[in-house]
Structure formats: C-alpha cells, structure tokens
Chain A
Amino acid sequence: MLCAALPLLWLPLAGAAATEEPTPEPGSPGEPPPGLALFRWQWHEVEAPYLVALWILVASLAKIVFHLSRKVTSLVPESCLLILLGLVLGGIVLAVAKKAEYQLEPGTFFLFLLPPIVLDSGYFMPSRLFFDNLGAILTYAVVGTLWNAFTTGAALWGLQQAGLVAPRVQASLLDFLLFGSLISAVDPVAVLAVFEEVHVNDTLFIIVFGESLLNDAVTVVLYKVCNSFVEMGSANVQATDYLKGVASLFVVSLGGAAVGLVFAFLLALTTRFTKRVRIIEPLLVFLLAYAAYLTAEMASLSAILAVTMCGLGCKKYVEANISHKSRTAVKYTMKTLASCAETVIFMLLGISAVDSSKWAWDSGLVLGTLFFILFFRALGVVLQTWVLNQFRLVPLDKIDQVVMSYGGLRGAVAFALVILLDKTKVPAKDYFVATTIVVVFFTVIVQGLTIKPLVKWLKVKRSEHHKPTLNQELHEHTFDHILAAVEDVVGHHGYHYWRDRWEQFDKKYLSQLLMRRSAYRIRDQIWDVYYRLNIRDAISFVDQGGHILSSTGLTLPSMPSRNSMAETSVTNLLRESGSGACLDLQVIDTVRSGRDREDAVMHHLLCGGLYKPRRRVVCLNQDPNKAHILHLYKASCSRHFISEDAQERQDKEVFQQNMKRRLESFKSTKHNICFTKSKPRPRKTSRKKKDGLANTEATNGKPPRNLSVQDTAAVILTVESEEEEESDSSETEKEDDEGIIFVARATSEVLQEVKVSGSLEVCPSPRIIPPSPTCAEKELPWKSGQGDLAVYVSSETTKIVPVDMQTGWNQSISSLESLASPPCTQAPTVTRLPPCPLAAEEPQHPFNLPYDPRPSFAFPPSLAKAGRSRSESSADIPQQQELQPLMGYEDRTHLSPGTANSHWCIQFNKGSRL
C-alpha cells in the first residue's frame, strides 16, 4: 500500500532502490538474489509504525501551530481546529490516493486511543468532588442515557412513520433504537476537550464529565443489546431477552467497576514493593490500568468504567508509594498520551468524514436527529434535575441546567460504534453513519464554539482556583468530622456517615495494607498540604534568594544573616520571623517585616560590596567600614559606564570602585568630612576619568537603580536608559533597564535643613532592581522602607558637616537650580540635571512617584555631590584636582541648560529655590 502522505518521497526512492516496479519489496521470491545490496529500501517493514508516528507527529505539529495564535485558541476549541484540520488532510489524502485512507478504525480507537484518555481522566479525577456528586452523576449517566436513547430512537421512528424520512432509509424501530443508543451517549473525549477550556465551576464540570464517563456502561449495554436484537431479528426476541438485557446492564456496569477496583488494588499493592526498582513504577501504573481496560473489554464489560475506577481507586495509594520523580513521570506521561490520543482522534474524525463512500445523506434523518438529541437532552436534564434537586443540598439552578444540556457533546465513541454496525443486518447503516458524523461535527464544532460565549453570557459560576491553605484544609476536616458526628447524633446514616466510615476503614486496613510503611506514616492530608506549602515556599525562597546570590555571583562570608537564613528550614524561618510575618514567603515580600528589612540590608551590602557581572547592578553599599552615600554616588557613577562588553564594563567598575575608595579614605582622613559630602566627589572623579577628556561623552550604560533616601529626603533616581543610549554615540549597548529618577524636594528652609541633614543620617539605600522585582523590592526602597532604612546607616554617616561644606551645598543647590530651571515659576518644577550635555531628551517617566510632603529636606546625595563639587572646587584644593574635569562638565551644563540631558531629573519644591 502506498503511503499517501509520502507519495513523492517514496516513489523516487523506491525507484532508486528497486528495479522492479510492482514489487519493490527486496528479496521477493521471483527475483534472483541480488547479492549484497549497498542500499536497501524497506518501506514495508516499517510502514505501519512509521505511519502511526507520522500521524501523531502531524497532529502534534498542528497543535503547535494552533497555539501560535493565542487569539484563535481562545476563541476556538482545539478539538474544532483538529477536526477541521482532519477534514483538510482527509481531502488531500483523498485527492492524492483517490481513495479514503487512514480512517478512524473502531478497533484502533477502542484499544489504543480511548484508554489513555479515560485513564487520565480517571486518575486525575478529583475524587472528593466526584463522590460528593455521585448521586447526580449516576442519575444523569444511567437514567439520562437511557432516556436519551429511547426517546431519540422512538422519535426518529415516529418521524419515519410520519413520512419525513425518505423511504430509502430502511430501518425498523429496533434499528432506530440501536441508532438512538449509540448517538445518545455524551462523549467523554469531546466533553473533556471542550470543558477543559471553558472552566465552569467544579460541580458543574464534574457532573457533566462524570456523566460522560459513567454512561459508557449504559451505552455499551444498550448498544450490544440492541445490536443483538437486530441481528436476531425482532421477531425472535423473547421476553427473557429483555430481562437479560436489563440484567446485563448491571453485569456490565458493576462488573466493569469491579474489574477496575481489583486492578486498582493490585496496582496499589504492587507499587508498595517497588522501593528498590523505582524506575518501573510509572510503567506499572500504565500496564495495570491498561490490563484493567483489556480485561474488561475481553469480558464484554464496560472498559471505560473499569479504567475510570482503576484510576480513581489506585491514585491515593499509588501516589503515596511511588517516588516523587515517578509521580511526575506518571503525570506527564499520562497527560501526554491522553493529549496525543485526543488529538489523533479528532483529526481522524475529520479525515473519516471525507470518505463519502460510506455516506448516505438523508436530510430528514439528519435534521431530525439533530433536533431530537438537543431537545431530549434538554428535556431529560430538566426532568432529572427537578427530581435531583429534591435531594440535593445545593440545588442545580437553571443556568447549570442550560450548560448541562448544551454541554452534551457527542464524539468519537458514537462514530466508532456506528462504524462497527453490520451493514448486512442494518441496511440503513450508511445513513446512520452520515447522521452520526453530522451530529458529532455539529456538537463538537458548533456547540464547542458557542459554549464559551454562552457560559460567559449566562454568567455561569466559574471555577476559582486558589492556593490551598493549611487553615482551609484543617477546617475542612473539622467540618467533615462535625457533620459526621451530627449525623451520628441525628441518627441518620447519610453521606457523611458513610464517608466517615469509609475513612475509618481506609485508615485501619486499606492504607495499612496498600501503602508502604514509610509512606503511610506521612500520608496525612493535613500533613500533605503542609508539606506542599513548605515545598512551594522553599522554592520561592530559593528563587528569591537565588536571585540575590546570582546577582552577586557568590555567597559572601561576610553575610552571616543570609547564610544562616539559607540554612534554616523554611519553618524555622517562618517561626523566626515572628507573628508579624506571614507564612507565605511571597506574602512576606509585601509585608515589611524584620526579615524583609534584613534582606534589604543584605541586598544593599551585596550590591555595594561586590562587582556585579550583570548590567543592572550596583548600588550602594553599606560597608561596615565605610557606610556611605558615597557608594550611592559611586553607584550612580557606574551608570556612566558604557559597556561594550562585559570585560570592559568590569574593568571600569573596578576602576571606579578603587577610585571611590581612594577618595573616601582621602577625604575622611583629610577633612573629616561627612561622607555624604564626599560622595559626590568620588563619583565625579571617577566619571571624569572615565569620560576623560571628552566631556561630550555621555553617561551611559549606567545600570539603573532606584535610590531610596531616608525620610528626610525623597530622592528618586531614574535613568532613562534609552536616552542614555541615544546620548551616547559611542556606545552600542542598550540598557533596557528602568531609569533612575532623581526627585529632590526642598523646602524654603533648605539652608537650615541642609545643616540639619548633614548631621542627620542620610541613608541612601539604592537597590538593585532585579530583572523581576518582587513586590517587596518594588515597594521597599522608598515607599515603605523609609523609616526602617535608617537602621542600616552606619554611624559614620552622622558626622557633622563642616560649615564650609554647608555653604558649598547651598551654593551648589542654587547653581543647580539656576542652571536647570532658570526662572522657575511653577510650583513643582522638574528640572533636569544633565550629566551629559549631548543628549537633550525629556525624561519619559512621569513623576508619579510618591511625593513626600514633609518639609524636612535632606540633601539628596546626587545634589550634594553636584553642589559640593562646585563649591569645593574652590575650597578644597586637593579635591579640586580630582574634580577638575567634572567641574568643567558642570560648567558646561550650566552654560547650556537648554540642552540639559534628562538622565537626572531633579524635582524641586517651590520653596527649595533660594
């Protein structure tokens, strides 16, 4: 058989390989032995598996393509797309091969494609939810399916009697009942495919989906009974046969469930002893579940029910027994297989529909069937729900009923069953096939497409997923126990009573028997939730901590607190953090706790003290030895680096750091100046050097950072990286970091305030902005951490500012203001302090940063630095030398305020002007 999908590939190669056209198979008996062939083409030996793999590949690729566009997949269910793709592919195959190929074979479908899907759904079925709604599910599955089958079949027969179905459709009442039985069952594959994307609330989902799984037994029985009746001929059917039919319903369903449970037991028991051979654990799960399916199929029991029960029953014990890795393997393999099977099913459905040779169209039959299945489904749901609501604690409301009626999708099971019909016994088979295809396509495509908007329009309660909390888990157990106790007291042996009994039994015997001892010990639901929460916290903790560490590149021995934190368990950590802290580390981020502050300090320490290989970096450091704003300064200096490559940047940074240190020591020894003052200088000098003679060079490649200053001053630095880049002609590297905005607010009391601020602790705590800043990181620096940050300031910052320095500051402020905003009249003016005269750009970041209305003003480091550098040029001779180039730079900026660059934005309050 030619592979229609690969005709072009195959033919030329075949021609090259074999000389004989009709029998390309090498070594066929008629030929003389060709001797040792250098190259042999053996398509036929690999044909079957090759084609299977190829089809799955095509389907998977198609899935990838579908999901390239989020828009399409959000509107159209994947199953629709796959069916349509199948139609197209089928058309191509038909056109190429001149005959329909690769249809959905019932054998393949039932033996290979269906089991993975059912196993997946059974294994991952939320069992509590399932059993909570078991009554409703069973009702819909059994009564509903029976109702649908009989009413649809009878109504179609009535339609035929009424003459609305063309007379060429030769079918008796039994034929129609047979057809009704196969067309009436809601299909698990289709329901799953559509409802998984709709996200209705859990109860609704479990009812529709549970029904689609459990109605298999009814469908199988009805189908088999009707089929045998048809084959026997309606005249030969005895009364006992009807009784047998009814009895077989119980045999098939209960038998299937029993087979499933037996295998679940075996499976759980087997996995108890796999401690030494962990690697086969996933295999065991699949093998035994498949064995359950095949066994049930072999015994003509409901195979779907068997696998569902097997998955449902074994999960608890298997999950406890197998290793963590095996659990992951089982989960992913199961999902992969199910998804594969589902994809292939829908695609093959589409392909099969192309084959018109199996079709026979009758409009009356098709339209009638469509109408009846919708109508009777809705009617059945309404009637059953009315009855059920008499017994339900939470009644199903009308909207639920609409969704349930509309969600009754038909799918591949019906198609496979109709293909299985014997044409000699059922003369109208072709018509039934066509009708089934139309029904399946209609439900999957039309209803599948519209159910999402419908659910939205009806405002159906959606499922809400929230993280489990220990409290919820614990209290839920409490409620269960309470309800069980109340039922005891009331003397009513209801659902809670039996669930409680079952749990006792499970605890006493089943778990002891089926779980390995070590697993049993820790297998408690509350413990489990606790364990999972801890794992999650640990992961997020590591993520967070890992980020910090990675940004610095290593762990510092000088950071005892961080190290100790890493060592302590999450629980201890939580305990340490005290009652004020939330358990969830993620929450801790947003809650300013002592731990958080400590983190920030650590962070700053790390940032300041280490060279950071990353672009975004630098910040201030609060070295135990030198605490300073200086570093902050310096940090800003680093911005000026343009890093063409990492090496260069690193060199520069190291250089800068050295520079800064030198300056610091110099100043501190010489002038005993407040560090805040000295800070500006080093930065300038370093920048100076960097920029060298060419003052034109802009400050580039600065890693952006947010500087937070103590509450006395609101200083926010924002670096507009884009602008920087533009300004920097020589630099090619672009920094996509956030900018630094410098917002300085000064009041009229600047003069006095400056003095005060000099003596005050000015604590700049610029922080690294990690690539993905956490809430705390975003929040910490200036918004929340203001008061707290003072803690980190070392005592050295509190040195008294010499008088000459203060005057220098004032001067610098005034000069800055004048240069930046000459005649400032507006209340809060935004002025730009240009580090780079070349780039004249507006800061793109609006100043939406929190404004601190407090009048107190602490000299923002950057301002201080700038001002001081000017003033000191005259005051300090030694410093002046180093600052010299910088001075020139400043002067230039002063001269050309219009071209001021926007890298540094300084926002003053009105009152700050002198």
Chain B
Amino acid sequence: MIRSEPPALLTGSFSQASLLRLYHRFRALDRNKKGYLSRMDLQQIGALAVNPLGERIIDSFFPDGNLRLDFPGFVRVLAHFRPIDDEDPGIRDPKEPEPLNSRMNKLRFAFQLYDLDRDGKISRHEMLQVLRLMVGVQVTEEQLESIADRTVQEADEDGDGAVSFLEFTKSLEKMDIEQKMSIRILK
C-alpha cells in the first residue's frame, strides 16, 4: 500500500512510520473508499467542526478550488507541521525549494488562513473576520472593530492599511514559530 505511493510525491520527507500512519488515517477519513478526500470527509471530524478556524483549515487542504484531496496533497499540507530537524541544515542543496516545514512556510500557511482573497495582504476586513471567529460573541462588534484596527495598524508598516506577508512575519519575528507550529508526532 504505502509502497505503491511514489516517494517523489511525498515532499514532506516524513519518516516511513509517519507516512504509514498518515496513510491509515487517510484511508480512515475516506469514508467511501473513493481514493481521495472530499471536504465532507474532513468536515466529519467532530472536533474540527468546533474549531473556530476549522472551515478555513479545511479550505487550506483544498487549494485552487480542488474538490479532491489525494494522499500526496494530504501529506503535503501536513508536512508544514513537521518539526524542523536541525540535523542537516547544511547538506541541503540551496537550489532546492525550501522544505515545507521551514519557518517561512509555516508562517505562510497561517497567513493564508487570514488572507481569504489571496491578494497577499490581510486587510482590515479579513482581520475582523478572523477576530470575529476567535474572540467569540462576548465582545461587541464595535470593540471587535477597534481591535481589528489596532491589530492591523500594529503590524502595518508601510501604511497601506493592510498586513502584508512581510509585515506578518515581522510582527511574529520574536515568536518561536518552529516550535509553535510543529507537531511532534509528524516526525
């Protein structure tokens, strides 16, 4: 089963055990044994439905309007959350694309959860939407807006009223992203 998957597709460079584990999970999620996952399959996960960002995270599994998620795609998304292994930082060919679990790619994953219209910027409106999801109903709309304003302004450096990816990374430069966006089990 796992052997049948061409390893070249598995950009995540997961360990064999992890791949096997993920493959089992993939098959378990695939209810109708159709060989791919649909949005419905992911929405069935109970806890994901409660997650305020659940819908958006499911979206990120289906880039470019795809309706089907095959196993390589599944793995590729999850590869963002592989812990960064510090063993071979120098060995890698610089021409190779950055591994999916690099700090930048982790941040990019988070960024695109905010950036709904994919214009490379988190506008105030997009920020407000996220805040509405996260803060919950206890805070009034007006307060939410002022929070959104402030959040955008805080990170906004070039004064365009939106947070670009660069500004996004800058606002988080002190945070240990490698640690906060990794799951050990995905080694």
Taking Cβ atoms with an 8 Å cutoff, the residues of A that contact B are 391-394, 464, 466, 469-472, 474-479, 481-492, 494, 496-497, 500-501, 504, 507, 520-524, 526-527, 530, 533, 571, 574-575, 578-584
Query: With the chains together, A522 CA to B163 CA distance in Å?
Result: 26
Q: Which of A476, A520, A579, A582 contacts B175 (CB 8 A)?
A: A476
B47, A497: Cβ atoms closer than 8 Å: yes
Instruction: Choose one: B29, B138, B151; the contact of A524 (CB below 8 Å).
Output: B138
* B52 beta carbon closer than 8 Å to chain A: yes
Which residue in B83, B150, B183 is a CB contact (below 8 Å) of A490?
A: B183
Q: If A486-B78, A527-B147 touch, does A478 touch B47 (CB 8 Å cutoff)?
A: no
Establish whether residues B181 and A490, one from each chain, have CB atoms under 8 Å apart when the complex forms: no
What is the chain A residue whose CB lies nearest that of B144? A527
Contact B134 A522 (CB under 8 A): no
B51: which A residues are within 8 A, CB to CB? 481, 484-485, 488, 500
On whether A479 and B50 interact (CB within 8 A), knowing A488-B45, A489-B78, the answer reads no
User: Closest residue of chain B to A391, judged by CB?
Assistant: B184
Known: A471-B151, A522-B139. A579 touches B172 (CB 8 A): no
Contact A524 B53 (CB under 8 A): no
- For residue A849, give the distance in angstroms from its CB to the closest CB of chain B: 29
On whether the beta carbons of A489 and B138 are closer than 8 Å, the reply is no
What is the CA–CA distance of A523 and B183 in the complex, to the nearest angstrom? 29
What are the residues of chain A within 8 A of B81 when measuring CB–CB?
A: 483, 486
Q: Is the CB of A472 within 8 A of B53?
A: no
Q: CA of A391 to CA of B147 in the docked complex: distance in angstroms?
A: 38
Find out whether the CB atom of A579 lies under 8 angstroms from the CB atom of B136.
no
The CA-CA distance from A298 to B45 in the complex, in Å, is 47
Contact with A along B104-140 (1 / 0, CB 8 A): 0000011001100000000000000011001110110
Contacts of A521 in B (CB 8 A): 138-139
Residue of B nearest to A593 (CB): B159
Pick the contact of B47 from A479, A488, A583 — CB < 8 Å? Answer: A488
Question: A390 to B101, alpha carbons, bound, how many Å?
Answer: 20
Q: Cα distance A491–B155 when bound, in Å?
A: 35
Cβ B52 vs Cβ A471 within 8 A? no
Given the interface contacts A479-B181, A482-B57, does A490 sit within 8 Å of B78 by beta carbon?
A: yes
Question: Can you name 15 A-B pairs with beta carbons within 8 Å?
Answer: A393-B179, A394-B179, A469-B171, A474-B131, A478-B53, A479-B180, A481-B52, A481-B57, A483-B181, A483-B183, A485-B54, A504-B50, A524-B138, A574-B149, A579-B161
B28 on the A face (CB < 8 A): yes
Residues A487 and B183 in contact in the complex (CB < 8 Å), given A475-B175, A478-B113, A533-B150: yes
Task: Give the residue among A392, A466, A490, A524 with the most B Cβ atoms within 10 A.
Answer: A490
CB-CB < 8 A to B53: which residues of A? 478, 481-482, 485
Q: Does B182 interact with chain A (Cβ within 8 Å)?
A: yes
Q: Which of the residues A497, A500, A524, A579 comes within 8 Å of B135, measured between beta carbons?
A: A524
Of chain B, the residue at the smallest CB distance from A394 is B179
Chain B residues positioned under 8 Å from A485 (CB to CB): 47-48, 51, 53-54, 57
Instruction: Tell me the smallest distance from the CB of B26 to a CB of chain A, in Å.
Output: 10
Contacts A501-B47, A571-B150 given; does A579 touch B160 at CB 8 Å:
yes
Interfacial chain B residues near A486, Cβ < 8 Å: 57, 78, 81, 183
CB distance from B170 to the nearest CB of A (A): 9
Q: Which of B13-58 contact A (CB under 8 A)?
A: 21-22, 25, 28-29, 42, 45, 47-48, 50-54, 57
Contacts of B50 in A (CB 8 A): 504
- Contact across chains for A470 and B154 when beta carbons are under 8 A apart: yes
- Expressed in whole angstroms, the minimum distance between the Cβ of B37 and any Cβ of chain A is 10
Contact residues in A for B155 (Cβ distance below 8 Å): 471
* B174 in the interface (beta carbon within 8 A): yes
Q: Which of B74-92 contact A (CB under 8 A)?
A: 78, 81, 83
> Which residues of B are at the interface with A, using a C-beta cutoff of 8 A?
21-22, 25, 28-29, 42, 45, 47-48, 50-54, 57, 61, 78, 81, 83, 109-110, 113-114, 130-131, 134-136, 138-139, 143, 146-147, 149-151, 153-156, 159-161, 163, 168, 171-172, 174-175, 177, 179-186
Question: B184 to A393, Cβ gap below 8 A?
Answer: yes
Residues on A with C-beta less than 8 A from B172 are 471-472, 475
Min CB distance, A391 to chain B, in Å? 7
Q: Which of A507, A579, A581 has the most CB of B within 10 A?
A: A579
Q: Are B134 and A393 in contact (CB under 8 A)?
A: no
Of the residues B25, B134, B181, contact of A474 by C-beta under 8 Å: B134
Contact present for B154 and A580 (CB under 8 Å): no
- Residue contact A583 to B139, C-beta cutoff 8 Å: no
Per the bound structure, the CA–CA distance linking A582 and B156 in Å amounts to 8
Q: Is the CB of A478 within 8 A of B110?
A: yes
13 new A-B pairs (CB below 8 Å) besides A507-B136, A526-B131?
A469-B154, A471-B168, A478-B114, A482-B53, A488-B45, A488-B48, A489-B45, A490-B21, A504-B50, A522-B139, A523-B138, A530-B150, A574-B153
Chain B residues whose C-beta falls within 8 Å of the C-beta of A530 in the assembled complex: 146-147, 150
Partner of B174, one of A464, A488, A527, A580: A464
CA distance A239 to B179 in the complex (A): 47
- Cβ of B47: which chain A residues have Cβ within 8 Å of it? 484-485, 488, 497, 500-501
Q: B160 to chain A: which residues have CB within 8 Å?
A: 579
| B167 closest partner in A (C-beta) | A471
Contact of A477 among B54, B134, B156 (CB under 8 A): B134
The one of A393, A472, A497, A579 in contact with B182, judged by C-beta atoms closer than 8 angstroms, is: A393
Complex: A499 Cα to B99 Cα, angstroms: 28
Bound-complex Cα distance A530 to B149 (A): 11
Q: Give complex CA distance A479, B174 in Å.
A: 15
Q: What chain B residues lie within 8 Å of A507 (beta carbons)?
A: 136
Q: Is the CB of B185 within 8 A of A492?
A: yes
- The answer to whether B134 touches A481 (Cβ under 8 A) is yes
Question: A524 CA to B132 CA in the complex, in Å?
Answer: 12
CB distance from B24 to the nearest CB of A (A): 8
Contact: B153 with A583, CB < 8 Å?
yes
Q: Once bound together, how far apart are the Cα atoms of A256 and B47, in whole Å?
A: 32
B147-A583 in contact (CB<8A): no
Q: B149, A571: Cβ atoms under 8 Å?
A: yes
The CA-CA distance from A475 to B114 in the complex, in Å, is 10
A494 CA to B184 CA, complexed, in Å = 9
Are B175 and A472 interface neighbours, CB within 8 A? yes
- A526 near B146 with CB under 8 A, answer no
CA distance A717 to B178 in the complex (A): 53
Cross-interface CB contact of B130 among A474, A489, A578, A581, cutoff 8 Å: A474
Contacts of A583 on B, CB cut-off 8 Å? 150, 153-154
Given the complex of chains A and B, what is the CA–CA distance between A482 and B183 in angstroms? 11
Query: Which B residues lie within 8 Å of A491 (CB)?
Result: 25, 28-29
Q: Known: A471-B154, A486-B78. Is A527-B181 also a contact (CB below 8 A)?
A: no
Docked Cα-Cα span, A485 to B60, in Å, equals: 12
- Assess whether B147 is in contact with A490, with CB atoms less than 8 Å apart: no
What are the residues of chain B within 8 A of A489 when measuring CB–CB? 25, 29, 42, 45, 48, 57, 61, 78
